[in-house]
Chain A
Amino acid sequence: MADHAHHAEIDKVTGTATTGHEWDGIKELNTPLPRWWIWTFYACIIWSIGYFIVYPAWPLMDGYTKGLFGYSSRAELAVDLANLDKVRGDKMAALATAPLAEIEKDPALLALARAKGKVVFGDNCAACHGSGGAGAKGYPNLNDDDWLWGGTLDQIEQTIKFGARSGHDDAHQGNMPAFGKDGLLTKDQIVIMANYVRSLSGLSTRSGVDLAAGKQLFADNCSSCHGDEAKGNPELGAPNLTDRIWLYGSDEATLIETLTNGRGGVMPAWTGRLDPATIKAMAVYVHSLGGGK
Chain B
Amino acid sequence: MLGDARGSDDAQDHERKLSDADKKNPEMNKPLRDTELLPDDDGGPLYAAGKKIYPQSVSGSFRRIKWILMAVCLGIYYFLPFVRWNRGLAAPDQAVLIDLANNRFYFFFIELWPQEIYYFTGLLIVAAVTLFLMNALGGRVWCGYLCPQTVWTDLFYAVERLVEGDRRERMRKAEEGWSMQRGAELVLKHSIWLMIAWWTGGAWVLYFADAPTLIKELVTFQAPMVAYIWIGILTATTYTLAGFMREQVCVYMCPWPRIQAALTDEWALNVTYKYDRGETRTSLKKAAQLRALGEQVGDCVDCNQCVAVCPTGIDIRNGPQLDCIQCGLCIDACDNVMTKIGRPTRLIGYDNDINIHRRMEGKPEVFKPLRARTVVYSGLIAAIGAVMLYAMLTRSLLDLNVLHDRNPVAVRLSDGSIRNGYTIRFLNKRGFDRVVAVDVDGPPNAVIHVVGSDSITPDRPMIILARDTTTELRVLVDSRPQSEEDLAPSTPVKFHVTDIGLGEVATAKDVFVKP
Contact = CB atoms under 8 A, between A and B. Distances in A.
Interface of A: 1-5, 8, 10, 12, 15, 17, 19, 30, 32-38, 104-105, 107, 110-111, 114, 130-134, 141, 143-146, 240, 243-245, 288-291
Given A34-B252, A290-B411, A132 B46 contact: no
B333 to A, nearest CB: 23
Nearest to B411: A143
A55 to B, nearest CB: 20
A281 B472 CA distance: 17
Contact of A17 (B39, B412, B451, B471): B39
A290 B419 contact: yes
Contacts of B47: 32-35, 37-38
10 contacts: A3-B44, A19-B44, A30-B44, A32-B47, A33-B252, A34-B248, A107-B471, A132-B407, A144-B419, A244-B416
A132 B452 contact: no
Given A4-B45, A244-B416, A141 B50 contact: no
Nearest to A14: B30
What is the interface of chain A mostly: helix, strand, loop, or mixed? Answer: loop
A15 B48 contact: no
A30 B411 contact: no
Interface string B216-234: 0000000000000000000
A10 B37 contact: yes
A244 B415 CA distance: 6
Given A36-B245, A104-B451, 10 more contacts: A1-B45, A4-B45, A5-B41, A33-B252, A37-B252, A132-B407, A143-B411, A144-B414, A288-B452, A290-B451
Interface residues of B, number: 40
A255 to B, nearest CB: 18
Contact of B414 (A111, A240, A288): A240
B408 interface: yes
A5 B476 CA distance: 83
A15 B36 CA distance: 8
Interface in B392-413: 405-408, 411-413
B88 interface: no
B43 A30 contact: yes
A32 B248 contact: no
B42 interface: yes
Interface of B: 30, 32, 36-39, 41-50, 245, 248, 251-252, 405-408, 411-416, 419, 421, 451-452, 454, 464, 471-472, 474, 476
Contacts of B407: 130-132, 134
A10 B464 CA distance: 79
Nearest to A11: B37
Nearest to B406: A132
Given A10-B37, A132-B406, A290 B421 contact: yes
Contacts of B405: 132, 143
Contacts of B252: 33-34, 37
Nearest to B466: A107
Given A132-B406, A143-B421, A1 B44 contact: yes
Contacts of B46: 1, 30, 32-33
A290 B476 contact: yes
Contacts of B472: 111
Contacts of A289: 421, 474
B413 to A, nearest CB: 5
A2 B44 contact: yes
B454 to A, nearest CB: 7
A144 B411 contact: yes
B414 A141 contact: no
Contact of A5 (B43, B411, B451, B474): B43
B42 A5 contact: yes
Which interface residue of A8, A38, A143 has the most chain B CB atoms within 10 A? A143
A68 to B, nearest CB: 22
A244 B421 contact: no
Contacts of A104: 451-452
Contacts of B42: 5
A292 to B, nearest CB: 9
B412 A144 contact: yes
Contacts of A3: 44
A131 B452 CA distance: 22
Contacts of B38: 10
A28 to B, nearest CB: 11
A33 B405 CA distance: 59
Given A105-B452, A146-B414, A17 B44 contact: yes
A121 B411 CA distance: 19
A120 B30 CA distance: 75
A141 B408 contact: yes
A32 B471 CA distance: 60
Contacts of A5: 39, 41-45
B50 A10 contact: no
Contacts of A111: 472
Contact of A114 (B30, B41, B474): B474
Contacts of B454: 105
B28 to A, nearest CB: 13
A107 B452 contact: yes
A181 B67 CA distance: 101
A10 B45 CA distance: 14
A15 B37 contact: yes
Nearest to A147: B414
Given A36-B248, A244-B414, A143 B48 contact: no
